[in-house]
């Protein structure tokens, strides 16, 4: 999925600080027991999420798309001691696995899982967030964006994953719904004067969006 050659990716992964053992366990378990394990952020992206979160030391983190809870745990590493992370997931079958995975970490008590469609849940969240990780259904990225920007504090960071969509984003032959929706999202954010944007060609593409 990454645009760098696999050997370079592995080299960077091997030399980067190793994640906690429970994260490696969760990654292995995700590959063994879920249908689409490639959805997990994985080791190097997990370390990047952790590093960015530690830089911001957020008191409020929001995630859309929990899957097995891996990225939430990486983001939680940067939480301020009184901070809280909320993660939204629509697949109720994942609930037990997520909570069991989170319970392996020291951040469990600072993390809340809300099961349900994120578009329905978001209007009921009254918090303002310092850091948001957008990693749910790609067709709705633009719909989420407007709502999320309203919930992000000035100076806060919104990270949007999969913005290169395995390179399909620049392949004019690719006209499926998800690719088209991601193109619209990327174009809209790049023109939006309310934010600064850096698109990183990291893994499947990670947009770093800072609200002015
Ligand atoms: C790419 S995975 C998330 C991976 C996870 N963030 C990680 O890095 O380990 C996307 C997740 O979003 C969930 N999802 C899809 N549509 C959703 C929706 N409308 N509301 C909430 N979650 C949704 C899927 O069930 C899936 O678990």
Would residue 100 count as lying in a domain?
Answer: yes
Q: How far apart are the first and last CA of the chain?
A: 31
Contact indicator for 63, 93 with CB cutoff of 8 Å: no
Question: What token pair was written down for 174?
Answer: 């690719």
Would residue 51 count as lying in a domain?
Answer: yes
Separation of CA 102 and ligand 1 centre (Å): 16
The strand ranges marked E within the chain are: 60-64, 84-89, 111-115, 129-134, 152-161, 195-200, 206-211
Q: 166 is in which domain, residue-wise?
A: 6-211
Would residue 190 count as lying in a domain?
Answer: yes
Read off the CATH number of the domain in which 206 is found. 3.40.50.150
The pTM is what? 0.97
Would residue 168 count as lying in a domain?
Answer: yes
Would residue 144 count as lying in a domain?
Answer: yes
Would residue 42 count as lying in a domain?
Answer: yes
Ligand 1 closest atom vs CA 88: 21
Site to probe by mutation for ligand 1, drawn from 47, 71, 95, 136 as the one with most ligand atoms within 8 Å of Cβ, is: 136
Question: What token pair was written down for 67?
Answer: 């899957």
Contact indicator for 178, 165 with CB cutoff of 8 Å: yes
Residues with CB under 6 A from ligand 1: 39-41, 65, 67, 70-71, 88-91, 117-119, 135-137
Nearest CA to ligand 1 atom 26: 67
pLDDT band at 58 (very low <50, low <70, confident <90, very high): very high
d(CA 192, CA 142): 12
Work out how many domains the chain is built from and give that number.
Answer: 1
Which residue shows structure tokens 């967030």? 129
What is the tens place of the pLDDT at every residue in 107-139? 999 999 999 999 999 999 999 999 999 999 999
Site to probe by mutation for ligand 1, drawn from 65, 131, 133 as the one with most ligand atoms within 8 Å of Cβ, is: 65
Would residue 32 count as lying in a domain?
Answer: yes
Nearest CA to ligand 1 atom 14: 136
Site to probe by mutation for ligand 1, drawn from 77, 137, 160, 206 as the one with most ligand atoms within 8 Å of Cβ, is: 137
Residue range 5-20: average pLDDT?
96
What is the tens place of the pLDDT at every residue in 165-187? 999 999 999 999 999 999 999 99
Would residue 1 count as lying in a domain?
Answer: no
Which residue shows structure tokens 């989420």? 144
């Amino acid at each position: 999925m990454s645009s760098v050659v696999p050997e370079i990716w592995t080299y960077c992964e091997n030399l980067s600080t190793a994640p906690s053992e429970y994260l490696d366990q969760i990654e292995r378990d995700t590959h063994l027991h879920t249908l689409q394990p490639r959805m997990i952020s994985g080791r190097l992206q997990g370390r990047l999420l952790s590093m960015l979160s530690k830089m911001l030391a957020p008191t409020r983190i929001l995630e859309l798309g929990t899957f097995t809870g891996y990225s939430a745990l990486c983001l939680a590493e940067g939480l301020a001691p009184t901070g809280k992370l909320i993660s939204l997931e629509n697949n109720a079958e994942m609930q037990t696995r997520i909570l069991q995975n989170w319970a392996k970490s020291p951040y469990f008590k600072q993390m809340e899982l809300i099961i349900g469609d994120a578009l329905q849940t978001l209007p009921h969240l009254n918090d303002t967030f310092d850091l948001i990780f957008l990693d749910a259904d790609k067709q709705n990225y633009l719909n989420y964006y407007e709502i999320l920007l309203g919930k992000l504090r000035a100076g806060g960071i919104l990270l949007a994953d999969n913005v290169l969509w395995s390179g399909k984003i620049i392949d004019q032959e690719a006209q499926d719904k998800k690719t088209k929706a991601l193109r619209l999202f990327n174009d809209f954010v790049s023109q939006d004067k309310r934010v600064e944007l850096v698109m990183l060609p990291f893994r499947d593409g990670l947009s770093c969006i800072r609200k002015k």
